Amino acid sequence: MIEIGIIGCGTMGAGIAQIAAQNGHPVIVVDLEAAALEKARTQLSISMQKLVDKHKLSAEDAAQIQARIHWTTNYEDLTNASLVIEAIVENLEVKKKVFVQLEKVCSTDCVLASNTSSLSITSIAAACLHPDRVIGIHFFNPAPLMELVEIIPALQTAPSYTASARKLIDQWKKKTVLVKDTPGFIVNRVARPYYSEALRIHEEGVPIQDIDFAMKEYGGFRMGPFELMDLIGHDVNYTVTETVWKSFYFDPRYTPSFVQKRLVEASWLGRKSNKGFYIYPQEANSLVISSSAEVLKSICDRIVIMLINEAAHALFMGTASKEDLDLAMTKGVNYPKGLLQWADEKGIQVCVNALDALYAIYHEDRYRCSPLLRQMAQNNQNFY
Ligand code: NAI
């Protein structure tokens, strides 16, 4: 079994280390902070014990998994690693420095991966002497439970490294999707309208609980957009939106919302601060839905159509295959179905008409229909 290195043992690094050890690999976890290593080691031991108590893992296996992981503050311990996955702070300059340091200690054929959610893999690779072995391997939180992993080759990545990285992560029983190195990759980009269109509708006067109810009841989503933003944290969710918007050269499709920005400014970050759009703990049945069934359905349709348009446009721009786009949204954010499959079910012409109707009202570029949907409607085509 090849040795796996993990840099940073916060939320993501610790989870990825657990996955690698569960799959039989010797794992070297490096963090600058000895306290962070100790915290992650203790947390892993608690998680393993829970699995043993639930009879999902034998005590022997749990002990072996933990014994496979070596926790260290010393980068030199990575000399035998064949793959290193970096999961430190989301800061390009800091990440570049870490990759330069990795090249000094790792062997020349060791694959160097970043778990970044929003930075360009190409720019990280550019800091390296051998950029052809640098790649993005993006896990979702919590890594041991979420099935999806986005594989993002940089412009410089050699195809053989992309293929071997994908093969390995597939062997870890994850669902991998291949994505071009573009802002937000698949999930963090295609999901933007779920939040931004909901915020827009709310700004126009619809109560948050009505929009949340509409998406769950009529769309089959597990959580409404406002509940979900409160869970993710407005600091994190707003920053992702703003980063995607800036990275797409301020395309109005991704414009952030003042309503959410004010929440961040007030430090009303959601569940973690007991207050966001909702107040926590929430009183059961305290929320009254005031919109009619017809209005609720139209709210759901509007948000789903905007999601479909985003997925279609990502396909049009060659960001990923249609299968991977649909898989990413069902496995990465638990959408009830793939958006392109959903487009087929609604009818492509219906989607185009709905987008054109929004554009006719607002005259904003945000509502422009993807050329792909329009071409497909004209030619009477479906995605599948
Ligand atoms: P975190 O803040 O929980 O942990 C980061 C860890 O890196 C800390 O323990 C810190 O001591 C360590 N560290 C910082 N600089 C270091 C260095 N130079 N060398 C070694 N260790 C260093 O961060 P989190 O949330 O785990 O995120 C890590 C990366 O994963 C980021 O790039 C983030 O964008 C990405 N990501 C985060 C997700 C999340 O939901 N938290 C989801 C998917 C990706």
pLDDT band at 287 (very low <50, low <70, confident <90, very high): confident
Using CB atoms within 10 Å of the CB of residue 335, give its burial: 0 to 12 exposed, 13 to 18 middle, 19+ buried. buried
Percent of the chain with pLDDT over 70: 99
Reduced to 3 states, what is the DSSP secondary structure of residue 23? Answer: coil
State the closest ligand 1 atom to the C-alpha of 90, by its place in the atom list counted from 1. Answer: 32
Distance CA(37)–CA(74), nearest Å, equals 12
Instruction: Name the pLDDT band for 21 (thresholds 50, 70, 90).
Output: very high
- Averaged pLDDT for residues 40-53: 96
Q: Which residues are catalytic?
A: 117, 138, 150, 188
Judge contact between 271 and 227, C-beta under 8 A.
no
CA 42, 83, 141, 119 torsion-angle sign = positive
**How much is the pLDDT for 130?**
97
* pLDDT digit string, tens, across residues 157-177: 999 999 999 999 999 999 999
Confidence bin at 321 (pLDDT 50/70/90): very high
Compute the average pLDDT of residues 329-338.
Answer: 96
pLDDT band, very low/low/confident/very high, at 20 (cuts 50, 70, 90):
very high
Q: Which atom of ligand 1 is nearest to the CA of 101?
A: 18
| Mean pLDDT value across residues 286-301 | 93
Query: What is the Cα–Cα distance from 183 to 332, expressed in whole angstroms?
Result: 16
Q: Is the peptide bond before 281 cis (omega within 30 degrees of 0)?
A: yes
Report the pLDDT value the prediction gives residue 284, as an integer from 0 to 100: 62
Q: What is the distance between the alpha carbons of residues 25 and 227, in angstroms, rounded to a whole number? A: 38
**pLDDT of 188-246, one tens digit each?**
999 999 999 999 999 999 999 999 999 999 999 999 999 999 999 999 999 999 999 99
Is 183 in contact with 192 (CB distance < 8 Å)? no
Share above pLDDT 90 across residues of the chain, in percent, rounded to a whole number: 96
* Mutate which of 7, 11, 76, 236 for ligand 1 pocket (most atoms within 8 A of beta carbon): 11
Nearest protein CA to atom 8 of ligand 1, as residue: 10
Q: What length is written for the chain?
A: 384
56 CA from centroid of ligand 1 (Å): 28
Residues lining ligand 1, CB < 6 A?
7-13, 30-33, 36, 87-90, 98, 115-117, 139-141
- How far is C-alpha 239 from the geometric centre of its chain's CA atoms? 13
What confidence score (pLDDT) does residue 285 get? Answer: 61
Please, what is the average pLDDT of the chain? 96
Q: Which domains does the chain have, with CATH numbers?
A: 4-178 (3.40.50.720), 188-378 (1.10.1040.50)
